[in-house]
Structure 1
Amino acid sequence: MLRRGFLGSLLAAVVASVLLQASTLGLFSIRWLGDQLIFGVGFYVDTLVIWLFLGLLWAVLGRLWWSIGVVFALVLAVGVATLVKIQFREEPVYPSDVDFLREPGFLTSMVSPTLLVVAVAAVVGVVVGGVLLGRRMARRYPRPRWRDLRRPHAWLLAGSRVLVGVVALLLLAQAGHFNQPGNLWRSMYEVRGEHWRYWNQKTNYRSNGFIGGFLFNMPVDAMAKPKDYDAARMDEIADRYERLAARTNAGRTGSLADTNVVIVLSESFSDPTELQGFDLEHDPIPRTRARMAGTTSGHMLSQMYGGGTANMEFETLTGQSLGLFRPQMLSPYQMLVPEQADYPSAVGWFRGQGHDAIAIHPYRVGMYKREQVYERFGFQSFIHDTTIGETDTIDDNPYISDDSAFDEVITQIDEHERPLMVNLVTMQNHIPVDDNYDDPIGVSGTGDKRIGQYARGLEHTDEALDEFLDTLEKKPEKTIVLFYGDHLPGIYDSTIKHENAGISLYRTPFFIWSSEPGHNRPRTIPTTSPAFFLPLLYDVADAPVPPYLALLGKLHEHVTALQQGRMLDPSGERVEESDLDDETAQLLADLRLVQFDFSIGDRRAVDRMWPGAVVKKP
């Protein structure tokens, strides 16, 4: 009986492992076979992990088929979640995604009710099926009852279950420390060398096994401590960039002290006319395009396709790059900022310059732990879906319109005597976009109706944004606006994705506009990362910068875009860190030290590099 259980549980683990690999859509491709079965051992170690987990359940429940049912139910749930996430965001499920379980409303809005019902029914069916099958197998192969066993045999059976459970638990507990030096499981995955492809997590899971990729993304310190990090080194860096800031500011005559600063992250705002594979009936964003032509503008390099909103917001507000964090730092909003009492950001800096700081996001406060993050940054108020003045929507779009969001900014400006720093994150163009509007823009070359729906949403944004800027221009107080899209929507099929290889699916428009006459001069910026937005904003205002923004601005002259696994020079060409010239390498090394110091270091340089950036609690 034990032999049958041993073989049956191992076979179940193999099947479960295959199903998880299948959820990444890479199963049995030539590359998958090579990476996981020949050059690497991902599939084998994945199977071992599942088998140990199954053994732990068996030891606890005492029923093999029940345990198999639970394992397959979990595999089914995780597999479906991965399929859905890959469809929309081109990435698998991560450990940090457990936070989204606290927002069931958001999850249900992303998945069709039919799929959700089918998935839940399937999970329940697998568990019930396991129980029923277990009962049938028990009649065919009856388990010995405790009272029928001799005492030595009973003790032996009980001891075996305890031993299996304890050993499995201890081994599985090691998985929680996967990224620690000398970890047993990581050593097993790397027995034939490292194959981690963190710059593309979908490929990472396919190359190292689903569970291997999942464990690779377990929580870890945001950055490794640089070897030369100490008080003397940070003083040296602060001295260097205080001098640079002084040289930069010598010729500047502008100021933001009496100017409203409005940062607008426009959800899923992009330019679909730049993509190949389909044609729209007309340009959905002509007004935005005209604004871009008359001021500082360009393209932002998004971290990912179909998602990553909070990460782009983090980079914009902190000037810190995801590309300098460890690859496991998938979401600083979820994994880093809430764990600290406060955090350096533009919020504190502008408050120190006399601004009131307001965050506006017309959606639930719990998404990406924004409520905690905004409190750590130092925002004085957070306006969300239940506190915003207008909650208008357009046609059947469930999200609050951009027009209502912009009106809230105008209201806040009117009600405050002091200049404002406003961070607005919109929701109107968030997916799903199916049947949102009664009059989608016509599209040819593809049968996907979502593109026309999405384009109509962009047109509504285009109109609302233009009216918003017109209103600001007529007001007596000065305002500067940074507007950017965070990523493309996850609506394009594989054909369109194939036709737009490279960075086409990762580029979104941005511009910096000022209501002050003479500040809007045409200037096209090379493809950039949002971490460099703040120095660009100060360039438009011709305002003096603190040393930290001077460092960012100087690096931006050499490296315009920096994301995990990707670095672009001013010509838009990809460059490797090992190929950087000495000056650029020094700038990047300095920024890495400053980012460590600001994020998880001792903050030795914050007061000199970015005075007031940390808002201390009273």
Structure 2
Amino acid sequence: MSEQLLDEPAQASVDDGAARERTPWQALVWAQKVSWLAAMACAFVLEASTLLGQPSYFWRSTFFDGLSFAADSLVIWLIIVVLIGLTNRVLLSVGLVAAFSLVIAVANRVKLGTRLEPIYPSDVDFLTQPKFLTTMVAPRMLVVAGIGLAALVWAAWFLGRKYEPKLLSIWPEHLDLRRQFGAVLVRALVVTAALALLADATRFNDPGNPWRAAYEVGDGRKWRYWNQQSNYSANGFVGGFLYNMPTVAMETPEGYDQATMDALTARYERLAAKVNRTRTGSLDDTNVVVVLSESFSDPTRLQGFQLQQDPIPQTRATMQAGTSGTMLAQLYGGGTANMEFEALTGQSIGLFSPQMSSPYQMLVPEYDQYPSAVGWFASHGHEPVAVHPYITSFYKRDQVYDVLGFDKFVHDTTLAEQDRIEDNEFISDQAAFDEVRKQIDDSDSPLMVNLVTMQNHIPVDGNYTDPIGVDGVDGDQADRIGNYARGLAHTDEALASFLQGLEQSDEKTVVVFYGDHLPGIYDSSITDQNPGEDMYTTPFLLWSSEGNTKKVLPQSSPIMFLPMLYEMANAPIPPYYAMLDRLRTRVSALEQGRMLDPQGNEITEDDLDKQGQRLLADARLVQYDFSIGERYSVDRMWPGSLR
């Protein structure tokens, strides 16, 4: 802004003249200093929300290596500049951004504490789900936080009115018309330039993006997509947040075109035909129940504490007598919808771009139809039913289930039973299993049921009057573990009763039962003693009312569950499942940043032999084709999967 436009004397404060009088030019310099210092302070608060508890080298990396802290501060400063340009109030604008930064920092700490995962851009969807938010944070804390934030904004407004130097007004009437227009034009250009730079930041993952280039300045800088807490710690909170902005779900695999997909499809059609020649069973007249048991795990596997009784003896006995194994979870403390997505679609989160943090929120709702087991089973005479004893909008399931092809969605307000156990605010697993049994009994057709339970969702503090005793820890940690273990015991009883009822029924039923992740209840004293896959390992089992054969499967991902179920039932498979079956001979588990071979060894793609690399490349081609590609192969690789 030129000195010619700013050479008029400052007007007196609208208050009582207490504010220091400065020329508009001096006021502008003051505003620049205050806004930049405020931006740095907000950036520091956001960085600290991730860095607290992290090793010292992360603090050093964020603040001294490269430009990440400066870039974070610059992004926040541009937001303040836009607000100043729109409101003409420096301290009010700073107060608004500071309040917003504090909200994000607190939310980040809460999420890290429960899921070891920072805030993502896609988490904005949860703002429309107050019921879920109040389960994560006590309502009293939300009220206190709201009052505190309102007080912070009011204080900024009050101090600004009383002490802030007067900036040149948005439409300075004391100037002649030409200079009025010039002043407005300069202000508009500043706001427009700041908005343009911020808009460019939202395209962070585009090739050649200058913001990303700024964050990548420095020796050895690397985006840690396999561990987002480390990613945010090393590259700054704002940098990590921008890195996770929505982008293309997958890069186009090399050689992708219709000819390539036709040749690939023909190859797996031949493989499926070869496999099916020896398979004499069928699931066409059998109920198929897929159960994702919220936070179901085996805490007796963990080091650092001992339970005074086994919380899942009946589930353990069922696993030992039949087909079972362990699952590699994507995340600790979260990722439920992603594990459900993998089980239903056979598509791996590990093959998507790292920024695809939630296909249910970021990918599936963009389509009218999406290939899944829902359509596949429906094309074989099954009626697809989804059961989730919680709000329908959670992870956009009300939209996602429709796109996947479910005929019916039974949820928290439509379940026949809505019982809770003691002080647990979530509907019990027994009520959820009873609903599945009711749906089976009421239907003349075989069902494909997808059940996602909620009973063991956090918070677990104080849920039960008889928590299982815990040795080796005390205080709140012991209370949380004991209450969680008691919840598992209730699930253990409900599952055993459910399977017993199915076994006594005249209808044939098969069940896939798996835990999606460990609960985010363990502090660092326990997580530090359980490295590697320990905090990412949950049980799963495959069960049939027609009888079960003992078989221990290697650690797996949910994409393998239904192909393994067909193998257990000795039933014919589509070419898509033939491909996944062949892939698991080389890669038994695949999640973002982790890949295991059938012996449980962590491997990379370079460790695979040529056949393994080709199988993984084929899986990548098919996943691209099914998800965002042209879907050249869907009708042949997985006939009926689009519904």
1:386 partner letter = T
- Correspondence for 2:43 among 17, 23, 40: 17
Work out whether 1:476 is the aligned partner of 2:506: yes
Secondary structure of the 1:270 match is: coil
1:432 partner letter = P
The percent identity for this pair of structures is: 56
Give the conservation status (yes or no) of the 8 Å contact 1:529–1:560: yes
1:554 maps to which residue?
A: 582
1:584 maps to which residue?
A: 612
CA distance in 2, matches of 1:300, 1:437: 28
Secondary structure of the 1:206 match is: helix
Alpha-carbon offset, residue 150 of structure 1: 6.2
1:253 maps to which residue?
A: 280
Distance 1:480-1:130 versus aligned 2 partners, 3 A rule: same
Give the conservation status (yes or no) of the 8 Å contact 2:59–2:233: no
Alpha-carbon offset, residue 34 of structure 1: 3.8
What's the RMSD between the two structures over aligned residues?
Answer: 1.4
CA distance in 1, matches of 2:364, 2:411: 20
Secondary structure of the 1:23 match is: helix
CA distance in 1, matches of 2:198, 2:276: 56
- Correspondence for 2:522 among 492, 501, 518: 492
Alpha-carbon offset, residue 25 of structure 1: 2.9
Give the conservation status (yes or no) of the 8 Å contact 2:95–2:156: yes
Distance 1:331-1:601 versus aligned 2 partners, 3 A rule: same
Of the structure 1 ranges 437-446 and 343-352, higher mean CA displacement relative to structure 2 is found in 437-446
Give the conservation status (yes or no) of the 8 Å contact 1:245–1:550: yes
1:274 maps to which residue?
A: 301
CA distance in 1, matches of 2:273, 2:254: 29
Give the conservation status (yes or no) of the 8 Å contact 2:311–2:492: yes
- Correspondence for 2:112 among 56, 81, 86: 86
Work out whether 1:384 is the aligned partner of 2:411: yes
Of the structure 1 ranges 279-288 and 144-153, higher mean CA displacement relative to structure 2 is found in 144-153
Secondary structure of the 2:553 match is: strand
Q: How does 1:139-538 map to 2 (within 5 A)?
A: 141-143=165-167, 146-148=172-174, 154-192=180-218, 194-447=221-474, 448=477, 449-517=479-547, 520-538=548-566
Alpha-carbon offset, residue 378 of structure 1: 0.6
Q: Which runs of 5+ in 2 are unaligned?
A: 1-25
Give the conservation status (yes or no) of the 8 Å contact 1:566–1:574: yes
- Correspondence for 2:601 among 553, 562, 573: 573
Give the conservation status (yes or no) of the 8 Å contact 1:179–1:220: yes
Deviation string 1:538-573 (CA, Å, 9 cap, x unpaired) is: 111111111100100111111111011110111111
Alpha-carbon offset, residue 191 of structure 1: 3.0
1:397 partner letter = N
Alpha-carbon offset, residue 166 of structure 1: 1.1
Secondary structure of the 1:481 match is: strand
Give the conservation status (yes or no) of the 8 Å contact 2:428–2:455: yes
CA distance in 2, matches of 1:598, 1:96: 22
2:90 maps to which residue?
A: 64
Scaled by the length of structure 1, the TM-score of the pair is 0.97
Deviation string 1:557-606 (CA, Å, 9 cap, x unpaired) is: 11111011110111111101122100000000000000000001111111
CA distance in 2, matches of 1:40, 1:27: 22
CA distance in 2, matches of 1:180, 1:204: 18
Alpha-carbon offset, residue 393 of structure 1: 0.9
2:640 maps to which residue?
A: 612
Secondary structure of the 1:526 match is: coil
Give the conservation status (yes or no) of the 8 Å contact 1:26–1:206: no
CA distance in 1, matches of 2:148, 2:331: 31
1:135 partner letter = R
Distance 1:142-1:220 versus aligned 2 partners, 3 A rule: closer
Q: How does 1:95-114 map to 2 (within 5 A)?
A: 95-114=121-140
Alpha-carbon offset, residue 117 of structure 1: 2.0
CA distance in 2, matches of 1:6, 1:611: 62
Deviation string 1:366-398 (CA, Å, 9 cap, x unpaired) is: 000001111111111000011111111111111
Alpha-carbon offset, residue 186 of structure 1: 1.4
Secondary structure of the 1:489 match is: coil
Give the conservation status (yes or no) of the 8 Å contact 1:306–1:490: yes
Give the conservation status (yes or no) of the 8 Å contact 1:9–1:54: yes
Scaled by the length of structure 2, the TM-score of the pair is 0.93
Of the structure 1 ranges 21-30 and 525-534, higher mean CA displacement relative to structure 2 is found in 21-30
Secondary structure of the 2:311 match is: coil
Deviation string 1:304-333 (CA, Å, 9 cap, x unpaired) is: 000110000000000000000000000000
Work out whether 1:130 is the aligned partner of 2:156: yes
CA distance in 2, matches of 1:411, 1:588: 41
**Structure number with larger C-alpha Rg:** 2
Alpha-carbon offset, residue 203 of structure 1: 0.7
1:544 maps to which residue?
A: 572
Q: Which runs of 5+ in 1 are unaligned?
A: none
